Structures are given as C-alpha cells and as structure tokens.
Chain A
Amino acid sequence: MADIPFHHTLTVLQDVCKGCTHCMKRCPTGAIRIAGGKAHVDPERCIDCGQCMVVCPHHAIVLEQSDFNRIFNYRNRVAIIPSLLFGQFEDTVSDLQIVHALLQIGFTHVHIAEFGVDILRTLGNRISVYADDRPVISSYCPAVVRLIQLRYPALLRTINLMRTPAQIAALFARLDIEEQGGDPEETGVFYITPCAAKFAQINTPMSATSGLIQGGLNLDSVFNLMQSYFAKNKKESLAVTPGVIAFPQISAPAFLWSLTKGESASMPGRTLAVDEVHNVIEFLELVEEDKQQNLDFLELRACATGCTGGVLNPRNRFLASERIKHMAQRLPREIDKETKARVLKVSDRMIHNLKVDRIEAKHSLKLDQDMGLALQKMEKARRILEVLPGIDCGLCGSPSCAALAEDIARSNASIRQCAVLKLTDPRGLNTLARIWGEQIALEKTPKPEV
C-alpha cells in the first residue's frame, strides 16, 4: 500500500483565497505555503486534519462534496452514523426522530458506527488490540494514523491494527443483510462523517474501508437534509414513538467511544487520552523518544473534545458532547440478547476480517532521499536562517523563517521573498540571493493542486 498516494479531500478555492496566512500558520505539519497570493497545500505533508478549513476567515478551504443521490443506486441503503450525529440536534428533536428522519430521507438500515465496539465485545468478550509493541496507539483517528505514517515511522508498529468500530459495524451490516436473504451486490453502506480525514480514507483506493463502505457522506449536508425533513414534516416526525421504530442497538460505553477518554476508558492497563493535533504532536515526540514505558494504551485524537470537534459538525463541540453523555446515561451497559445472537450468527465470517494490513511509512520530513545531499541542504538552510530576521511573519509565504530557509535550500523558494530583508537591506538581499543561487519566482511554478 506504500505506493498508493493519500486521497485528499480539502481544496483551496483559488478565487476566494486572499493569501492571508491564517491556514499556513495553523497547519500542524507545515504543509501550506502561500504563492502568488494563494494558499497551496503540499499533498505529501497534508494529513487531512481540517485545521486550515476551521481557521480560514474567508471560507476558502472546502471539503470535497459527496453526492447523496448515490445511495439510491442500491436496494439496501445502510447509514453508518457516528453517535455524535445525535449531539448535533437540540433537545427538541428526540433520538428516535433523528433515526426516523434518516429512514425518511432514503436509508433502509441505520447502524451507529460505535456499535462496532459492542460487536467486538460480543465476538471476543473483550476489546482486543493487534500491535507489535506498546504503548498501543489507537487507530480510531485517521488523521493521527497519517501523522504517524509521515512523521513517526518508528511508532507504526504500535498502531492498533484492529478494524475501527465503524468498519466493523459496516462489515456486520453487510453480513446481516446477506443473512436475511439480501443480495450483497445490492447493498450500499454509507458512512456519514464530520471528519475530513475519514472522508479522505474512504475515498483512498485500496484503503481499509474498500469493499466495506461504498462512500462517505458529509455530515453537514446530511444534517441539512434531515433538518428540511423536520421542517416540512412536523406532524409525521412528532408521531414517531418506540412502537413505530426501534432505536439502533448500542451500549453506553460504546456510545461514548468517539469523545475524548471514551475509548481509553474501556482499555485495560494504564491509558492516556490526548486530543487536538498540536497536543498530539507534542506527545508523540515523547513517545518516539521512548520515555513512556509505563503506558499501555494511547488514545490520540486530532480534534479537540474528540470527534464532536470534527470540522463538519454544525453544533458547538461542548454542547454536542454534553448531549451524547446525557443520552448515554439512559443506554444499557450491554446490547440485548437478540442482537448478540445476530452477531454470533455471522461471527465466522467476521472473525477473519477484523484485522487491517500493516501500515506503511510515508516520508515527509526528509530534505533528500540521499543522506549526503540532505546534509548539504540542511547546512545551507542553517546558514540562510542566520541572516533571516527570525520574526516568523509569514509574509514570504512560508510559515516561519526556518521553513523559508528550508524551502530555499530545497530550491522551492527565493530569499527575495523575505519582506523584512527587502525593506531593511535591499542591496544586501541582492548579494544574498546571488550567494544562494537565484531561484525562479514561485508564481511561475505553482505547486501541484491538491
């Protein structure tokens, strides 16, 4: 899988972008540069965390759109919904009304993604993990997995290779329909997600979700469809009672899985939860240096508060988290016997498909594949950094003076881009540009679009 490039879902709208540098400064992997007055994302460094999209004041960064009508290509239309979807609605909309609306807008089956946790518990009586070393790192957050692939290859062997709950729920949904006589060819499983990285994963060919999940759907657009259903069908919606439809099976601990500390709470041993991508990077540096030998399990999430912080969630992350916790109080500790029996009926076909392939490294930090050339570039970058002002203003189009120095050393930028040197020492700047080799202006060679 090493040769298959990441699919990226974030796009910069070139006609809307003002080149303001907000996204560039926020990007945790230093993937963004401003060239020709517009932001460009380096596809080799982007982990699809969505921080740039959240911080953009001009709404110039957007997520790839999904075509909802694709679901109607299938007779059996399964919605895999994250528990956080319930948190997006105010209390005036009941849990059952939410499920009902999903069925009304076109789905035939609704499963909660975190129900996968209960499936796993039913199959094995406990939550098992597959990893070569500890502390085991959760694979739940695909942005974190990408981050490790790009920047912490030594930690790849500690990533849990067990399928994520949503994948397990999707697997079960398919087999369950087949068990009841449905044609697997006519079953389409769609994952509704607020997450740029999950969306990217689903759309990457040969990824862990291939074959299981036919498509991702943007949570905000599905939310809009549901809200319009509520607005136009008040009477039908209010008439929904437990006698009409059942709430999907899920246990309380599983329902809380995607919130910070939700997963680590169910893991044995000493566990720890870190959320928000910059915090995660700070922590991974420590793990990489092998100073955390007492820990057994690490829950790492790119978004603050966990998945309720996903970029496409319409509602405030704290309010959404509160509703989920409130709902969990009324959920059972375990799923019912009937559902367990349905799981066990297909257990033979599930058990051999619970593990994903080993995750391969991707390189993003390296200055060159050749160590000698990389050393030369590093030396050059260090010398250039000494003459740069060190104020990290970002006006050059690189996120910091150190990043500009590195870009010059990689022949991706010119020292003439430094606005401070241009103002304070224009003559010296010409000399410096000659010393370090004049580069073609970036405007003439824009980086490839994501």
Chain B
Amino acid sequence: MHVTFKVTAGDFSNAGKISSSIKTLLKQLNISSVDVKRIIVALYEAEVNVVAHSYGGEVVCDIEPHQAFIQVIDTGPGIPDLDLAMTEGWSTATAEVREMGFGAGMGLPNIRKNTDELSIQTQAGGHTHIMMRFYISEGTI
C-alpha cells in the first residue's frame, strides 16, 4: 500500500499528525504494537525535523506484508555535517524552536535506534532524503 502526506515547514501545531494517521493505518493491519510504536516514534522525529529545519517536504509510506518502507523527503537546505547530526544531544535548533519543546538533538539518533535499515542522503544546500525500512511482525503485543 502506498500513501503520501505533505509536510509544511514551520507548522509545529500540526507536527505529529502524519505519524498519528499512519499509526491508525498500521493498527488495522495486525502489526505488533511494539513495531507500530517503533515506526511512529521514528516517523514522528523525522516529521518534526522537516517542520523545524527544512523548507517543507513529504512523507512517502509503502507498506507490504512484513515490511514498511518510509521515506521522508524535504526540499532543503540539507544537513551540512551528517555525522555531527547523528550525535545525541547535538542540535542546530533555534532558541525559538527549543522553547516549543523541540530541538533536543535526539531526532536522528532516535530514528536510527528505531529503524532496521536507515539511509540518509543529504548535502548542504540540497534535499535531505531519509529512507527508513522496518521489518514488521504480526501479533497484538
């Protein structure tokens, strides 16, 4: 199944709505709740990143039996130093963003923790394209 969602830059009041919608879909598919939680935690972080740091973008979600492939693609400005961005606690978030409770520097580290395969393509001044693959099992818990 293929679904896409648009993410608007700076729209913090709606940050998290996409991960909630995808959660509702996943729960109908007999996916274990441990996997559902892993997916929505990673997606939520990626979604907030797009809202907080980019010019906007989209979430592309492909669900097949036993795996979910979720891509988060924004229109820039890219991550200048990806290794630094993957460090826990490191953040470029502005004071304004931090005041709203975001920007703790756990975004990318949390995504890595919750995905089975993660690939990030980015460059300063260009798009950032995050590809997350989750292997999912059936079951209630």
Contact = CB atoms under 8 A, between A and B. Distances in A.
Interface size class of A (residues with CB under 8 A): 20 to 34
Interface stretch (A223-231, A363-371, A433-441): A363-371
A405 to B, nearest CB: 12
The 5 tightest CB contacts between A and B, nearest first, are A154-B33, A372-B65, A361-B140, A374-B29, A366-B30
B63 interface: yes
Nearest to B140: A361
Contacts of A288: 23, 37
A154 B37 CA distance: 9
B138 interface: yes
B137 to A, nearest CB: 9
B132 to A, nearest CB: 17
A289 interface: yes
B23 A289 contact: yes
Nearest to A285: B20
Contacts of B25: 378
B29 A153 contact: no
B1 A379 contact: yes
Which of A156, A289, A290, A382 has the largest count of B CB atoms less than 10 A from its CB? A289
A153 B33 contact: yes
Contact of A375 (B1, B27, B34, B41): B1
B28 interface: yes
A367 B30 CA distance: 8
Contacts of B66: 371
A370 B30 contact: yes
Contact of A367 (B19, B28, B41, B44): B28
Contacts of A153: 33, 140-141
B1 A378 contact: yes
B28 A289 contact: no
Interface string A276-317: 000000000100111100000000000000000000000000
Contacts of B23: 285, 288-289
Given A288-B23, A289-B20, A375-B64, A154 B30 contact: no
B36 interface: yes
A146 to B, nearest CB: 15
Contacts of B37: 154, 288, 290
Interface size class of B (residues with CB under 8 A): 20 to 34
Interface string B54-76: 00000000011110000000000
B33 A363 contact: no
B77 interface: no
B16 interface: yes
Nearest to B25: A378
| Chain A binding surface SS class | helix
Contacts of B63: 375
B44 A289 contact: yes
Contacts of B20: 285, 289
B19 to A, nearest CB: 7
Nearest to A362: B140
A371 B19 contact: no
Interface in A334-373: 361, 363, 365-372
B104 to A, nearest CB: 12
A365 B24 CA distance: 9
B40 interface: yes
Contacts of A374: 28-30
Contacts of B136: 371
B79 interface: no
A368 B29 CA distance: 7
17 contacts: A153-B33, A153-B141, A154-B141, A156-B141, A285-B20, A290-B37, A291-B16, A361-B140, A361-B141, A365-B28, A366-B28, A370-B30, A371-B29, A371-B31, A371-B136, A378-B25, A382-B1
Interface string A74-103: 000000000000000000000000000000
A148 to B, nearest CB: 11
A359 to B, nearest CB: 12
A290 to B, nearest CB: 7
A374 B31 CA distance: 10
A174 to B, nearest CB: 35
A379 B36 CA distance: 19
Interface string A144-156: 0000000101101
